[in-house]
Structure 1
Amino acid sequence: MKYAQYIMTVLVMVMVMCGCKKENYAELNKGNTVLALSASVNTIVLQEKNRDNDALILNWTSGSNKGTNASIRYTLQLAKQGTNFANPISLDMGLAVYSNKFSVRTLNDSLRNHFNATPGTVFMLETRIIAQTQVAGISADISPVAVISVTTYQPVTKTLYLIGDAAPNGWDNTKAVALTAIATEPGGFTWTGQLNIGDFKFLTTLGQWIPTYNKSATAADSLFYRTDFGQADDKFHISANGIYTLKVNLLSMKIVINQPVQPTTPPYSRLWIVGDATPNGWNISAPNEMRVDSGNMFVFNYNELLNAGEFKIPTATGNWGTDYYMPLANHPALSATDVQLVRGGSPDNKWQITTAGPYKIKLDLLNMKINIQPFTPYKQLWLVGDATPVGWNINSPAPMTADPTNPYLFTWQGAMTAGEFKIPTTTGNWGCDYFMPMVNHQPISSTLAKFIPSGNPDNKWQITVPGNYKVTLDQLHETIQIQKL
């Protein structure tokens, strides 16, 4: 009984398998199906604003495999009308595929690149499908031709660059700043960064002055496509330094320039100086650190005796490939104040010190400015305040003593009472410049001092324990030691 059941099971399985195979043959047998092709539209006007939409859908029948049960391979061809498909675009569609879609961008690029279709004019396109049965000796079938009228367009540039004295890299057309294309917005570009007081426009190609996108003469928020040097060269103007976001659309020819966005925190909390002009030289693992200004977190200072040589300002240590603050061009005049943030340090611009000596450097990250000044030490400094023996007598403050071997060091030693003091750079004038603490009443154990023009804010050191004190000020490095003897 078990043997009979086994035989029956095997017979059923064989019958099922044979039935499936017969059904597959029937599916493969296309009989005498006529090969035909149809288009979703007969007239198309392509527009770049719709570049990702479907422009044309082509469908075709399976055609006949002449009863061979063999598969059929399809080739879709597009050609210029009247050429008898002498120079077609041929697309291998593979097996069992009966449709193909062309996006606006794909169809436009294909007609322009392959057939040199003139943008803005009608191109008469012919298309057909070729069906080749995959058996030797059987000739291919070719469908009737479908004719489609297509108007192509000239695509806008895929690159756009910011140039001008308002821009980070100035008017050097080989270093203009690239905007970012907006993937979801045809013709859209955007950029966010520091703009300075000045003018700007847009290049389409690095190193080339034409064509450009300029300010339209008719509307402040509109673009003008400039293709000839004889055309107006109007530019957009920035009236205040700040962080801006620019958004342009080359299809609508519109620009949006936002109001300055003032960040609340600086992009970096620590910065360094590296180069053979500095004491630590080209040691990226241990460059000399700049000092954050107590009154403005965006301002960094560096005061030092510099050698004849170069320097730049890295944003990290131990890695030459970090980002840097650099001049707009290599070796600018020290009077030039513009600065840029260079990702990865290329181009490798540097400031150059040609005359060794004391310098005070001030970098402002908010306004993207740098001030590099040779420092001339004061020949006399004083102490004034009710903590000193002379009190608040600006006409006759207590003189400090210059160090005979170091023109930057001044000392004062004597009895001090509970009270305040600061260090004026002249006498007889409360509005003079001062050396003061970083903040009012900072602990006397702190060694940080600060040069404050005109004495505003009016910070002072405070003595809480009377006694004999020695005060030593380094006016170059802006440090102080207040020692109770």
Structure 2
Amino acid sequence: MKNITKSVIALFAVLALSCSVEDVEDRPVIQGIDTPELVAPENDKAYVLLEDNAEEVAERFVWTKATYDGNVEIGYKLLIDVKGGDFTKAVEIGGTSGATQIEVTVKTLNNAIIALGGTPDVLGSYDVKVMSSLAGMEKMMSETPLTILVNPYTGLIPYAFTDWYFVGDATASGWNNNNNNQPLFRSGTNPSLYQFTGFFKAGAFKLISTPGQWAPMYGKGDNGAIVARPTEADSDPSSFEIATEGYYTFTMNTETLKYTLVTYNAAAAATFTTVGIIGDSTPLKWDASTALTQSTFNSHVWSINVLPLNDGKAKFRANNAWDVNWGGNTAFSAFPNNGTSGGDLPVAKSKYKIYFNDLDGSYLMIPNQK
């Protein structure tokens, strides 16, 4: 009986395999025939882009329809690369489903040129091609690129803030003023108010605003005051002192010229394996976090050197999960009770240097990085 059962199972397996093979062999194979080719604008057309016109249409690009050996809906992507580029690092400036033309705004074109390394206020040459595809397969690219000349603007987003960094043997960078110095986090509602909670070694520190330069600087004054050193020709102020290593919260106000330095109890603080940034502005959208790097000096501080972000929203979260996450409601920087909430952070398209503190949810996102 067992042998009969095995024979029946084997017979059905052979029949199923035969049907599957025949089905695959009978399926039509759709192949590309004619590649799409750009027909407008004219070759070597020049564009001088102005930031005031960012939302206006820079150009309508038109191309011929790609043809395949079947009645299928074709998707298109418009790509731009440096003159003579091989399009392996091209930037997409638009896409359609079926349509053979698309309008590209000044902002979109400018962002693409800047991403390709274009120099602001300098006319450069760029190649444009169109790529067709069927559900991501059977891709065909224009054989002949359309060349355009573009004079971009800087594309820098407004950032009218001053950042302040620690320097001193009580901090991660030591007395090196250009050693990935830890910045303070800035209030989301008061641009003169700064704060940092974290680990300090026994020693001293001061504050500088430009890594690599010793002025402007803030040092310690009398009676809770901070003392400014506007230029390196001015006298050097005293240092802030840390008598015993441990966790502290340092706060300073550059308008009132006052500071506080108090101990912080980090004994009960949670520790995390990973912390990342997530959101529709990030490379992985809302699908996955982009990991930040944990500080070896202070395990609660995380950073990423340069990350391109798009217009949209973002949050921070721990361990690639949603049970512990942090948000905010102000762009660039904030710390608790000064402009943060559980909401999504607003983000404008730029390249950012990002810092995050999991002790209090403080964040600093410095735009316009190279």
So what's the TM-score if we normalise by structure 2?
0.34
- Give the greater-gyration-radius structure (CA): 1
Higher RCO (CA 8 Å, separation ≥ 6 residues): 2
